[in-house]
């Protein structure tokens, strides 16, 4: 009898201990997930919790889009977002290590933030505007920005995303001496001459309706001074202004009746209603080009230089990053992230 009681007590204690341990394991498992190392860069680690902190707004946006994270689609979207964020964070960490070793002067001193902002401005001028103050001013104006607003933006980035600044500065140090020769520009121009050639054609707009009666009604409004875009919005089924893009006169995919009328239109001219395979159309032509135009090398030289220099910088910087990954040690544990994310 006594033995049975002892067995019963022991059984209860063991059961309680197991339940307690199990609940403790659940808590530890969740904490363990967040503490899982998902990347190693040099001697430093990135844990899942580090990525989670950066991904809060993205996760909220995905939940808002899908309602929750239960569907495979939502989970896959979040998983890909996490992997991209992890890759970026790991590369930023790598570039910080490189900056500390090779370019210590490029590490921002936040106690001298005005000096750091000035350094950013000067690098921007050098990289994108050939140190030309006038080009720099024109560039700001084209973006609807000012020097003061750019300074404020740089201050914010320095304070909130210093790793972005460090990465940009390391790229600057790696690529600042790269040049583009006239021979390279000439070769690119010759190879891509089609990109700088405009064949005869025009920007076309149209109004498409189902019946001739409606087409005549729309044309009457145009003849009485109605704006084409307004009438197009009123009559087109998709309420669009009817812009079709630039269409070359030798286009063979468009309706033959459409092209016959379109090619005869002069600058700004609006056609009478014409029956096409799409219904009844009214066509307007703008920016008419009657003869083939080829931009000269001088007209496009600066833009080609920008393209080639950008390509060179990207290639050189990416090559350096891959080299530093091997040199310092760089490992993304994709399987760990996927296993512990949810």
pLDDT at 57: 93
Q: Could you tell me if residue 331 is inside a domain?
A: no
pLDDT, tens only, 109-125: 999 999 999 999 999 99
Burial state string for 110-120 with b = 16 or more CB within 10 A and e = fewer than 16: eeeeeebbebb
From CA 324, how far away is CA 91, in angstroms rounded?
10
What separation in angstroms does the CA of 332 have from each of 52, 68, 90, 215, 243? Answer: 16, 27, 8, 62, 47
Q: How far apart are CA 59 and CA 52, in angstroms?
A: 9
Range of the domain at 280: 200-291
Tell me if residue 241 falls in helix, strand or coil.
coil
The H or E element spanning position 135 is helix 133-142
In this structure, is residue 245 part of a structural domain?
Answer: yes
Report DSSP state, residue 112: G
pLDDT, position 32: 81
Which residues of the chain register pLDDT less than 50? Answer: 1-3, 5-27
Residue bearing tokens 């008419």: 288
For residue 87, the model assigns a pLDDT of 97
**What DSSP assignment string belongs to 251-268?**
-SSS-HHHHHHHHH--TT
Inside any domain, residue 194: no
User: Residue 240, SS3?
Assistant: coil
* Residue 67: other Cβ atoms inside 10 A: 9
Separation CA 263–CA 244 (nearest Å):
14
pLDDT of residue 15: 42
For the chain, give the longest Cα–Cα distance.
112
Q: Is residue 268 part of a domain?
A: yes
Q: Is 280 a domain residue?
A: yes
Nearest C-alpha neighbor of 162 from the set 117, 194, 129: 117
Res 206: pLDDT: 97
Q: Is residue 257 part of a domain?
A: yes
Predicted TM-score (pTM) of the model is 0.74
Structure-block tokens of residue 174: 């790696």
First to last CA, the chain: 50
Count of domains observed in the chain:
1
Q: Give pLDDT, residue 237.
A: 85
Domain assignment present for 180: no
Q: CATH code at 257?
A: 3.10.50.40
Helix axes of 297-328 and 182-191: crossing angle, nearest 10 degrees? 110
Classified as helix, coil or strand, 331 is strand
The pLDDT, as a whole number, for residue 239 is 85
Residue 8 within a domain: no
Q: Are 166 and 117 in contact (CB under 8 A)?
A: no
């Amino acid at each position: 009898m006594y033995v049975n009681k002892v067995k019963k007590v022991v059984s209860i204690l063991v059961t309680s201990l197991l339940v307690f341990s199990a609940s403790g394991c659940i808590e530890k498992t969740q904490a363990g997930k967040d503490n899982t190392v998902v990347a190693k860069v040099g001697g430093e680690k990135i844990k899942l919790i580090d990525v989670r902190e950066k991904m809060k707004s993205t996760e909220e946006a995905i939940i808002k889009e899908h309602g929750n994270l239960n569907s495979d689609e939502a989970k896959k979207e979040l998983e890909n977002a996490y992997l991209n964020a992890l890759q970026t964070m790991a590369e930023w960490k790598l570039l910080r290590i490189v900056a500390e070793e090779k370019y210590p002067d490029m590490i921002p001193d936040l106690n001298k933030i005005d000096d750091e902002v000035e350094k950013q401005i000067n690098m921007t001028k050098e990289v994108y505007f050939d140190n030309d103050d006038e080009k720099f001013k024109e560039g700001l104006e084209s973006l609807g920005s000012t020097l003061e607003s750019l300074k404020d933006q740089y201050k914010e980035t320095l304070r909130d995303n210093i790793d972005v600044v460090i990465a940009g500065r390391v790229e600057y140090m790696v690529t600042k001496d790269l040049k583009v020769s006239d021979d390279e520009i000439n070769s690119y121009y010759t190879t891509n001459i089609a990109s700088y050639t405009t064949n005869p054609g025009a920007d076309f707009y149209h109004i498409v309706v189902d019946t001739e009666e409606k087409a005549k009604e729309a044309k009457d409004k145009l003849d009485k001074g109605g704006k084409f875009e307004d009438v197009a919005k009123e009559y087109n089924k998709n309420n669009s202004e009817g812009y079709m893009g630039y269409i070359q006169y030798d286009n063979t995919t468009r309706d033959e009746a459409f092209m016959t009328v379109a090619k005869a239109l002069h600058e700004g001219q609006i056609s009478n209603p014409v029956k096409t395979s799409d219904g009844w159309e009214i066509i307007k032509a703008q920016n008419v080009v009657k003869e083939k135009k080829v931009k000269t090398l001088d007209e496009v030289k600066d833009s080609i230089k920008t393209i080639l220099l950008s390509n060179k910088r990207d290639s050189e910087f990416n090559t350096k990053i891959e080299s530093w990954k091997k040199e310092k040690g760089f490992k993304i544990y994709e399987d760990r992230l996927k296993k512990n994310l949810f």
